[in-house]
Structure 1
Amino acid sequence: MNATERGIREQFPLWNRVDMNHVRPRAGQVHVVVGCGTSVHIADSIAATLNAQGVMSRAVPGNEWTRRRNDYVPATVAPHVVALSRSGASTETVAAARASRDAGLEVTAFSCAPGSALCKNADEVVVAQTHPEEGIVMTASASLMLLMGLRYAGIAVGPEATRAAEELLDAADPHLRAIIEGRSHFVFLGGGALYGVAREGALKLQEMSLSQTEAHHPLEYRHGPISLIDERSCVIMLYHPDTAAEEAQVAREVMEKGARVLGLGGPGDVTLPISSPAFVRPLLCLPVLQLLGEYVARMRELDTLAPRHLTKVVTIA
């Protein structure tokens, strides 16, 4: 077991240590959740959850928010900004926080680096300790920032959710090697708050294994992208309980076309039931997607501790 896998398997106790310091959205505030890379995909899931909880929100990449703020939120609106960065040093995210405060906007930071540049450019801060062996690829830290966002939105994420996530990972583990065998095209499908996690699953597998990946809303996949499905494809369906029947139909269609399907919360070649509520499913599924990336990388004889062209902190001089 390498350090990447240890970080994935040993992340669950870290979830139970997260302290939100009573940080919560104020009534009536519009929110913008910013981040880069993994963090902006996590931001997408957080924004969807905030909206579902009655807090108007959207996710925006860091540099887009700094340079084109009014393309995303009208100039007449003064949103509260939630900025995500594991290191607290990502150039675009720090710049977005700084520009937001310069414009008179309040900023909340979610990070794994106390005292970082991001934290110093925020009005309130939530910090979590990530796994000590986490390398370039974000695993535990991504889960921790998603957990912060769900709690920020008012979702109860406690020890029961932690246990459910660990049990789902244990249930998935014996099936992952078989379902990826001979597959080189990976599709992640999820709706609502699961869409951001689907995007993160696609990114994780891409950077860990240099594989062809894509992410879509489940029914949107039939509108063109399904043309790529064949016997080299593996589809990871993140089932939402509200639309599970429709998503199962998509799963059947891609299976008929040669794909293997990993069903998280619904039917597939491998079916892994999830009984937890919809709001916590993005967090529960994320470790499974992380471990899937590690296993595909091993299948391709790649080292996830040294992913090609990547650095732990992306900075711009």
Structure 2
Amino acid sequence: MCGIIGAVSNRDIVPTLVDSMRIMEYRGYDSAGIAVINSNGEFDRERCVGKVEKLVHSIQNGSSISGTTGIGHTRWATHGPANEANAHPLISSGRVAVVCNGIIENYEELRHQHLQEGSIYDSATDTEVILHELMKFLDDGLGFLDAVKETVKRLIGSYAFAALCISEPGKIIVAKRGCPLLIGFGDNETFIASDAIALAKIAKSIIVLENGDIAEISGVSETNIIDQFGEEVKRKDESILIQPKLVDLAHYSHYMQKEIFEQGSAVANTLEERITNNCMLEIETFGEEAVEIFNQVEAVRILACGTSYYAGMVARIWLESMGIPCEAEIASEFRYRNPVVPDNALVVAISQSGETADTLAALNQASKLGYKYSLAICNSPFSQMTRVTDLVLHTRAGPEISVASTKAFTTQLVSLLLLMIALAKRRGMTVDEEAEIVSELRALPSRIEALLQMDKDIAELSDYFADKEHTLFLGRGTHYPIALEGALKLKEISYIHADAYPAGELKHGPLALIDAKTPTIAVAPNNHLLAKLKANIQEVRARGGKLFVFSDSGTPIKSDELIEVIEVVKSGPFTSPIIHTIALQLLAYHVAVTKGNDVDNPRNLAKSVTVE
């Protein structure tokens, strides 16, 4: 949610800031803005409601904005509606400009104090309290950096902000607590950003700021970092791992389409160097302490949100099949419960961004409750989540720009399958059993490529769904969470209301929804639950419902006037959920395209949910 970018340079930085804002559009936003200190020592600012391209149009048609030091922002509205007055950057008295991600929880108290003191508010945002705090301390005679230090002491919440001050041009000061913030170093220029992707084309290395850090970027190569205790510190300078070409659309129509088709190589990247040529898992890939920790683990609790939670649901079934007790929890609910803590339990936090606020908070709560070990499964190597857990497994999916998750989800499933193998090895999994599962994983990239050859066939189904208002999804076992994920994808980008149910629950209520206008999608692998699922399919058919059955090739289900069978590539029992997931991704994508929707940026949604 929201995006921050800033730069100190010797050249006009406006085009670079705008380009980086374009890259961050995937995060979700409803307004955009930019502010720079111009050659006269004054602020130039341009803001708009809507897309970055609208901002670019305004800049190119008369605003003549330019400067060597500036900040930009894409805002997803929380406090105050999406209008120009609430768009960032916010400026006070022509002296200070601020952009902020996150939430200032005590803003009402601070705002009340400011109004009593005679301050005038120009927006309905919580961010504006930062401006007035800074102005108060500057008016008291403090320098810019000291004003930021004192302001941070007054703020409660999870946030990251960047500020400019007219009295100290050529300088950006940032503060981080809870929300991500990075410093990037390019050729004789320094950047700040909330997202490493925004720096992929302009920075050679980055520093990841820690919670409580305040950083002063003065000049093109001077950076001073102060930690939460007020001490100057050095943070590790890391190479940026994101290749610029990975954030380009290439020949695809949408990022979601591109990312669906990248899944074969993404899965191969997840597996690279983690399995041996003789089909064995390298347990140390989870971390140096992995062998010691896994030898102690007696139970697993998975914490995640949205799509990542569905991956956790699949993993729960996998782990239970190996005799490993496991619970999968929605992170935002776990935080407000008081669960029983098993002995020697491993908490597994799953997040594409590693910055999901609810999952981070749940992870913190688990530590307070006494969970002994922790593992992050994450796609972002620079994220906060990967810095607070005992073990880390990076999914290596590469940048995922589309809001609707595709390759991040499938690589999470692969990562969780590796975790299952690692934990099952100490519970008696034989070498042959391990080799069989690993062989299935090694064959997965080629099976994904074969599945993607069905793209045109699946696209032909989109016309049927385009005018529908409701769709039901059915699944059993490990494929029930895949039905949930399929329903989520369809509702996210096509705006068709979609629900998923365990197929055995049909008679307990959902059958009342079946009619000729409501199609049903069944996920039907050829496994031990197929006979039960076939009976459920007939229950729908008998009530006049149209069914689309995604089955393995060779499954004994035949098409008729009410049943259309879509045969997908047959896979093994552990990788079958991944194959069926990709088929449902393609369906959702093509339905959204047929309806003319904004596929990559669906309404009301953001990619990285960094607020509760």
2:363 pairs, out of 97, 116, 122, with 97
| Paired position in structure 2 for 1:15 | 267
Partner-residue secondary structure (3-state), 1:67: coil
**Cα pair 1:34 1:93 within 8 Å, conserved:** yes
| Paired position in structure 2 for 1:260 | 547
Letter matched to residue 502 of structure 2: H
Structure 1 pair 76–133 and aligned structure 2 pair: CA distance change class (3 A)? closer
- Work out the CA distance in 2 between the residues paired with 1:225 and 1:81: 34
CA deviation vs aligned residue, 1:132-163 (integer Å, no higher than 9, x gap): 35321111101111110112112425331222
| Paired position in structure 1 for 2:256 | 4
Letter matched to residue 301 of structure 2: V
| Paired position in structure 2 for 1:53 | 322
CA deviation vs aligned residue, 1:166-186 (integer Å, no higher than 9, x gap): 323323641343365154322
**Cα pair 2:377 2:412 within 8 Å, conserved:** yes
| Residue 116 of structure 1 pairs with residue 411 of structure 2 | no
**Cα pair 1:236 1:264 within 8 Å, conserved:** no
| Stretch moving more, 284-293 or 262-271 | 262-271
1:161 pairs, out of 436, 441, 444, with 444
Structure 1 pair 294–271 and aligned structure 2 pair: CA distance change class (3 A)? closer
| Residue 82 of structure 1 pairs with residue 348 of structure 2 | yes
Structure 1: segments with no counterpart, 5+ residues = none
- Work out the CA distance in 2 between the residues paired with 1:210 and 1:151: 34
User: How far off is 1:26 after superposition?
Assistant: 3.8
| Paired position in structure 1 for 2:510 | 225
User: How far off is 1:232 after superposition?
Assistant: 2.3
| Residue 67 of structure 1 pairs with residue 326 of structure 2 | no
CA deviation vs aligned residue, 1:208-265 (integer Å, no higher than 9, x gap): 1111111111121232202212222232222241111221222233234131323223
Letter matched to residue 270 of structure 1: V
| Aligned alpha-carbon RMSD (Å) | 2.2
5 Å-filtered alignment, 1:231-246, equals: 231-240=516-525, 241-246=527-532
**Cα pair 1:90 1:315 within 8 Å, conserved:** yes
Letter matched to residue 102 of structure 1: K
- Work out the CA distance in 1 between the residues paired with 2:308 and 2:255: 21
- Work out the CA distance in 2 between the residues paired with 1:175 and 1:136: 22
Structure whose residues are more often helix by fraction: 1
Structure 1 pair 292–69 and aligned structure 2 pair: CA distance change class (3 A)? farther
- Work out the CA distance in 2 between the residues paired with 1:228 and 1:40: 26
User: How far off is 1:100 after superposition?
Assistant: 2.1
5 Å-filtered alignment, 1:156-305, equals: 156=438, 157-171=440-454, 173-178=456-461, 181-182=464-465, 183-240=468-525, 241-256=527-542, 257-265=544-552, 266=555, 267=557, 268-272=563-567, 274-305=569-600
Structure 1 pair 281–191 and aligned structure 2 pair: CA distance change class (3 A)? same
Q: Larger C-alpha radius of gyration, 1 or 2?
A: 2
1:148 pairs, out of 398, 415, 419, with 415
Identity of matched residues, %: 26
Partner-residue secondary structure (3-state), 2:453: helix
Structure 1 pair 149–174 and aligned structure 2 pair: CA distance change class (3 A)? same
Partner-residue secondary structure (3-state), 2:472: strand
| Stretch moving more, 238-247 or 95-104 | 95-104
- Work out the CA distance in 2 between the residues paired with 1:249 and 1:173: 30
Structure 1 pair 235–314 and aligned structure 2 pair: CA distance change class (3 A)? same
**Cα pair 1:233 1:260 within 8 Å, conserved:** no
Partner-residue secondary structure (3-state), 2:335: helix
- Work out the CA distance in 1 between the residues paired with 2:514 and 2:398: 36
Partner-residue secondary structure (3-state), 1:158: helix
- Work out the CA distance in 2 between the residues paired with 1:15 and 1:76: 32
1:125 pairs, out of 389, 392, 396, with 392
- Work out the CA distance in 2 between the residues paired with 1:273 and 1:64: 35
Structure 2: segments with no counterpart, 5+ residues = 1-252, 275-283, 422-436, 558-562
- Work out the CA distance in 2 between the residues paired with 1:17 and 1:118: 21
- Work out the CA distance in 1 between the residues paired with 2:341 and 2:258: 46
Letter matched to residue 605 of structure 2: L
Structure 1 pair 309–137 and aligned structure 2 pair: CA distance change class (3 A)? same
Q: What is the aligned length?
A: 314
**Cα pair 1:260 1:269 within 8 Å, conserved:** yes
- Work out the CA distance in 2 between the residues paired with 1:292 and 1:226: 23
Structure 1 pair 41–242 and aligned structure 2 pair: CA distance change class (3 A)? same
**Cα pair 2:475 2:523 within 8 Å, conserved:** yes
**Cα pair 2:494 2:595 within 8 Å, conserved:** yes
Letter matched to residue 320 of structure 2: N
Partner-residue secondary structure (3-state), 2:535: helix
| Residue 39 of structure 1 pairs with residue 326 of structure 2 | no
| Residue 311 of structure 1 pairs with residue 598 of structure 2 | no
